[in-house]
Amino acid sequence: MSRKAFDVVGVGSNSVDHVLVLPDVLPSLLVSTKIRLRAQSVRCGGQTATTIGACRALGLTTSYVGVVGRDEDGRRVRDALARRGIDVTYLVEHEASTQTATILIHPESGSRVVLSDRDARLTLRADEIPADLLAGAHIVHVDDVDVAAAICAAKAAQEAGAVVTSDIDHATDQTDELLAAVTIPIFAEDTPKALTGVTDVETALRKLRRRHAGVLCVTLGERGAVALDGDRLHHQPAFPVDVRDTTGAGDVFRGGFIYGLRLGWPLPHILRFACAAAAVSCTRLGALDGVPLLEDVEQVLKGSGQWPVVSGR
C-alpha cells in the first residue's frame, strides 16, 4: 500500500467572521437603540476550516478543499489556512463574495449569536473534489453545508479506504444519505432530536443506531459530549474554564476527536481529549484563532489529573 499524503483532508465550509464583543449589560433591543461595542475584529472560521485548523495545530498533516470568492476575503481565508501549514492546493475560487458571518459575543457568558450570509454561487461541486486527494488521506472530514458534495466525497473516501468523520449540524432530506456515507458522524446537540423526534439524547442515538452501525457522537456544549459505541454510551463532561467565546468550540472538538482517532486511542480517551481541546478554544476569541496547540490541551488535562490520555506521539 502506498504511503498516505495526509493524516486528514477536510471538505467543507469556511468563513470570514466579523466578531463583535457586546457590552456586559445590554439595553432593550428596540428600534433606534445605540450600543457601544467593547471590541471588534475580523477573523477566519467556518466549520471544516476550523476543524482542519485544529487538526494542524495539534500536529496532523492536513489539506483543505472548499470554496472562496475571488475577493479580498477569499485571499484572507487562503492566507490564514496556508500560514498555519494547511495545504490549500485544492481551495477553489468562484465568482462570488466569500462567505461572511457577524458574530455577536456576550462577554460575561461567552455565548454568541451568529448572523451568516452565503452566496449560492459558493456551492462546492463534486467534480471540484480530487479523488486522488481523498485516496491519499487516512481520514476525510466533511460537513453538511454543501451536502451533495459531502456525500460524494464521503463515498469516494470510504471506497479508497479512508475513515470519514462528519459535522452534521442540521437535518435535511439528504441527511440520511450523508449519515450512511460516513464512518463516524458527529452531530450538533439538537440534530439527533430533529432526525428522530426524540428529545432525550441517549434515546435518540439508540434510535439512530438502526440507521448507522458505527460510533455516533453528539456535542453537548457546556455538558460535554456523548458517544454511542455499539450498545455502550460514553459521556465526557466538559472541562471548566473561563469562557470568553464559544465560537468554533464544536469544530475544535471535532479536530481533537480526529487527532485521537488518528492515533488509535480508545473512544473514552478520544472524547476526553476532544472536550479538553474545545475547552481551550472557549477561552480565546475567534474560531480559527481559537484552535489550541497540543501543549494547551495537555495543560487542561494535567490540571484535571487526566494526562497523559494514552501514550502516543
In the predicted model, is pLDDT for residue 28 greater than 70? Answer: no
pLDDT at 65: 98
Average pLDDT, the chain: 94
Residue 29 has pLDDT above 70, yes or no: no
Residue 311 pLDDT greater than 80, yes or no? no
pLDDT of residue 39: 87
Per-residue confidence band for 245, with pLDDT thresholds at 50, 70 and 90: very high
**CA geometry: angle 277, 104, 39, nearest 5 deg:** 90
Stretch 303-308: mean pLDDT, rounded?
88
What is the distance between the alpha carbons of residues 148 and 198, in angstroms, rounded to a whole number? 26
The pLDDT tens digits of the residues spanning 46-93 come to 999 999 999 999 999 999 999 999 999 999 999 999 999 999 999 999
Calculate the alpha carbon distances from 232 to 34, 121, 243, 309 in Å. Answer: 52, 43, 31, 20
Which pLDDT band, with edges at 50, 70 and 90, does 32 fall under?
A: low
Q: What is the pLDDT of residue 26?
A: 66
- How far apart are alpha carbons 110 and 123 in whole angstroms? 31
27 pLDDT more than 80: no
pLDDT, mean of residues 114-127? 95
| pLDDT digit string, tens, across residues 255-274 | 999 999 999 999 999 999 99
Which residue segments constitute the domains of the chain, with CATH numbers given?
6-23+39-303 (3.40.1190.20)
Residue 45 has pLDDT above 60, yes or no: yes
Of 37 and 77, which is predicted with more confidence? 77
Question: Cell digits for 311?
Answer: 501514550
**286-310 as b/e: b if 16+ CB within 10 A:** bbbbbbbebebbbebbeeeeeeebe
pTM of the predicted structure, to 2 decimals: 0.94
